[in-house]
Amino acid sequence: MEPLALNTVAGWLADYAAQVAGGVVDSAVADGVRRLWDAVAARFGGDPVAEGALDRLREQPENTRRQGAVEDHLEELVRSDPEFARTLAELVRALGEESAAEGSTHVHGSGAVAAGQGRVSISGTYAGGRDVHVHGVTPPAGNE
């Protein structure tokens, strides 16, 4: 099994918590991330420290220390619970497929990213700093 990028999982959880708090949930990935959130919340259940970490992330999703605390709990569980690791990997794989099917790209905690011809172009309403979400983008003819 390919190693999980737990910082990406924690980032998705934080993004979802921020969207829920703001009342705007990205429909392209909402169901997949909600399933991911629910699976993590269920597995953290019964562990007051892990539950607290997830609750604090919900309160301050942009706080990287809170993301790190959730990531730390995820790492311990992935190492000690192979069934949870498989479930988490499947949810992450499915989320990636859903995002691709909806034409969404999520760049979290990264600089400029280019694919294909090595060009980055941002236009439209949103241009972001640290976290950028691009939805429903169709590449120009000849750049598929």
pLDDT at position 18 over 70? yes
Section 111-129 average pLDDT: 44
DSSP code string of the chain: -PPP-HHHHHHHHHHHHHHHHHT---TTTHHHHHHHHHHHHHHHTT-HHHHHHHHHHHH-TT-HHHHHHHHHHHHHHHHH-HHHHHHHHHHHHHHHHHHHHTT-EEE-S-----BTTTB----SS---SS-EEE-S--PPTT--
pLDDT value at 126 more than 70? no
pTM of the model: 0.61
Domain range summary for the chain, segments of one domain joined by + = 6-134
Mean pLDDT in residue range 29-53: 91
Mean pLDDT across the chain: 73
Return the higher-pLDDT residue of 19 and 118. Answer: 19
pLDDT of residue 93: 86
Q: What is the pLDDT of residue 24?
A: 65
Write the pLDDT tens digit of every residue in 70-95.
999 999 999 999 999 999 999 988 87
